[in-house]
Structure 1
């Protein structure tokens, strides 16, 4: 007798007499079963029919095709032998139902049969509970075709959608990706529900069940989109981002399904997730529809990204996952952003301002990476400069990026440093930026001179504007002699202050440049050093004798203002 027969005898089952030897021998996944055909035929209409036709070989083949594990098949056999204290569970109920349906174990063939008992357990003990329903659905993966034949797939889906509609948080807490200044306020109805137990996550079921279920959830108007997005993002993380590389085929199918399930509404999905998904879709060689779908979603919300999000697009794979390998994808994403918003009728430029600042901040972040090549940095800096044209008043972010890059790449030659600095527009540096750059030892001397020249022009423009304002004020008050006199004294005071400010900055900048020149020509004669300084001053157009400091300010780029400024300094 088989081990099963010995178990049944030990448990005092109502078996046939020992004189009747088993007449049906089959293997279920390598486990032998020695059974009696008549005992199976009493409960199974299919077995009974094959015995009536005397089709023994067909019967053996029929039983071998049962998609069941040995433990579940043993439970079926025990029921056929009269053992009614069956141990149903959420893990085995789907398999029991499929086998009972496959064998025709209905009440029409035999009263109080297995199919009815299993259906009752499913209805009373499994379907009312979210966790039990998810476990049961997950357990039926191996017999999915038969599961669909029985109609259990639709039953499980309808049950889960109904429960998720009542409490969407069963799908997962929504991801907060709001724009700056917006407060996240969940629906007050959701506060009525409190999950004080750990719910079974839908992301544990296989893709061929998960995708159709989430499609139904998307179509359901009672489940908010943010909860569906939360579930889909978690699914991608488990089956794509964190999955082993040996399952490349499965990962490719998963990322394509994720793209199909995600909505296109701006702000529902984090930029970090979209960038990660786009990167994986390219690496896994997903369909062009999949890659384009992620790019379209990204183009709508690049302005919501953070510098560390852009880093995802530029990093490599495997061992190079944290290094800057390529910025082509960053350029593609930024280009798609501008293409999208150029076709919009909105006059709001806040999106462009945010992206311009984002690229400057990312430039600083990328510059600190030793793995970033000079060519890539220059290309990235040019992108940042282009995005700030007409949008940002100052380009201090570009300067900070250059400074950080020179600091982290100290091996650069002088010509390479000039290549790095060619994207810097000195005229767009703020006064504070000019002061820092003018004292920066890492910058090439030629760039420092350009910075100082731009700084002087800024101050002179400021002086001219303030003088003009003072003159206009005096003109308004010239009707009253006493007020006019006070205005003149005020005018002279303001001019004196601006003169001191201008002279102070020029003297400070001169000292800085002289110090740099002395270091570079310390082996040359002192007379030669003075000659170089005269050449530098000649470029400024301020060649004067050292004793006549005030006269150094009499020149200006605009000839129309020369007379006024000259008169001012007299």
Structure 2
């Protein structure tokens, strides 16, 4: 080789190659622009330094073989992505190339046989995509590989459902072998895709969803992936993995995913611990809101943010309830009543917290629509705890909170207790007394009707005694009402 044709190539600072620059430039537009015309360095040895050559020395060797072999190289599933990246990097689509096809064309044409690749070959090419390209890459080659991987996952061995992964647990069991043995038709590919980083996983899962894959299988895989990839990861990595999983979980059909409320709250607690973004919190809160009828009060008892004095994160529950109520009139009555019972239990837990402000508690007891409760007994007990503990309440604050009660939805026992409750404003207690008095009046004729006509004497006198007793009680309640009003 004459000295004037020698090109020294430094590849990523790791290895140096000596090649014929005329041969190389005949296949590469990038080199041709550098050496196609005579320059001061044309009569001596030239040097080129590449800092980000795809695949490093391996990639440059493949390129050199292609050029020295007159535009021919063996293309396989193991190197097709690397060769395609090299072709783009070196602009190997020169019209003056001595071969019939450029390297870029040859790699793309080789994809014609991709349907015959084995699963391991597809994974090898997918891994090269991840190693060499950004996840945002949407070239013909990348899209073809992603499509073939997702098509392989849609085979009947993947599509069958599995009920052995119980919805009562957030994650599949820690051992992947246990998962596979219990659900081999659905989970055989879980471990095979664990090499993917979250951005590339996003690309695969979105393709699976677009092809209408089993949403239950996708959901279980995302939960398994999030748990497994977080082991040993830094907090920053854990946050990225969890945010990616939440982003993808928000795309699955919530009715088909069969993910439990318990699991969603566990993810939310992790998100709060790892400080995920507000947008991802909102996605998760929306998901929880759609499943809120399945929650228990224990799920709701999430500690308040660091630095806050109140015990539980009431504002988080506000947001979840609002997400639940988003459907408005489309909400099934049964779900609405379940949530009503749930929130009343939660209010009872937070009522004794001295640091819950009156305006916060007032919003909490008022957040549900009227149809959510058939009875206000539980709500009365919770409000009773709050006004008893928070003796510093002003009369206006106390009245606004207590005025939420619907006296018509209180039982006789609750009304009787409320009528004597000194922690409630007089307006509220007098109303309770009058409604209770009305109920007792209605009870008198019903008592008379229940008297047996078959037995005379004792039976009749017993009815008369009961009637007189009720009349005495009504007189007592009336006198109590008058005393409260005058006070």
Structure 1 length normalisation: TM-score?
A: 0.53
Mapped partners of 1:137, 1:172: distance in 2 = 32
Which string of whole-angstrom CA distances, capped at 9 and with x for unpartnered residues, describes residues 206-229 of structure 1?
Answer: 53x4455334322324x2233334
1:216 to 194, 207, 217: 207
Mapped partners of 1:266, 1:501: distance in 2 = 58
Question: How many correspondences in the alignment?
Answer: 437
Output the aligned Cα RMSD: 6.4
Alignment pair present for 1:423 and 2:400: no
CA drift at 1:68: 2.5
CA drift at 1:374: 0.5
1:228 to 195, 211, 218: 218
- Within a 5 Å distance, the mapping from 1:161-172 to structure 2 comes to 161-168=151-158
Which string of whole-angstrom CA distances, capped at 9 and with x for unpartnered residues, describes residues 428-464 of structure 1?
Answer: 32245456657878x3484895487368537725742
Label 1:210 to 1:495 Cα distance change in 2 as closer, same or farther (>3 A). farther
**Helix, strand or coil: the match of 1:128?**
helix
Runs (5+) with no aligned partner, structure 1: 1-15, 83-87, 110-114, 179-189, 342-347, 475-483, 511-533, 542-570
Which string of whole-angstrom CA distances, capped at 9 and with x for unpartnered residues, describes residues 255-282 of structure 1?
Answer: 99648734375885666859969x99xx
Match of 2:337 in 1: 353
Label 1:308 to 1:72 Cα distance change in 2 as closer, same or farther (>3 A). farther
Runs (5+) with no aligned partner, structure 2: 69-75, 101-105, 170-181
Mapped partners of 2:27, 2:67: distance in 1 = 15
CA drift at 1:491: 4.6
Alignment pair present for 1:381 and 2:365: yes
Alignment pair present for 1:263 and 2:285: no
Mapped partners of 1:76, 1:128: distance in 2 = 22
1:453 to 433, 449, 454: 433
**Helix, strand or coil: the match of 1:394?**
coil
Alignment pair present for 1:400 and 2:391: no
Match of 1:338 in 2: 328
Label 1:540 to 1:470 Cα distance change in 2 as closer, same or farther (>3 A). farther
Label 1:41 to 1:247 Cα distance change in 2 as closer, same or farther (>3 A). farther
Alignment pair present for 1:127 and 2:119: yes
Label 1:468 to 1:136 Cα distance change in 2 as closer, same or farther (>3 A). farther
The answer on whether the counterparts of 2:55 and 2:132 sit within 8 Å (CA) in structure 1 is: no
2:191 to 199, 202, 209: 199
1:536 to 456, 461, 480: 480
Which string of whole-angstrom CA distances, capped at 9 and with x for unpartnered residues, describes residues 449-494 of structure 1?
Answer: 54873685377257425414325x63xxxxxxxxx3x166445445
- Within a 5 Å distance, the mapping from 1:548-559 to structure 2 comes to none
Structure 2 length normalisation: TM-score?
A: 0.60
CA drift at 1:337: 3.1
- Within a 5 Å distance, the mapping from 1:81-120 to structure 2 comes to 94-95=81-82, 98-99=85-86
Mapped partners of 2:398, 2:195: distance in 1 = 51
**Which of 1 and 2 has higher RCO (CA within 8 Å, sep 6+)?**
2
Alignment pair present for 1:68 and 2:42: no
CA drift at 1:199: 0.5
**Helix, strand or coil: the match of 1:424?**
coil
CA drift at 1:378: 1.2
CA drift at 1:20: 9.4
CA drift at 1:22: 11
Match of 1:138 in 2: 130
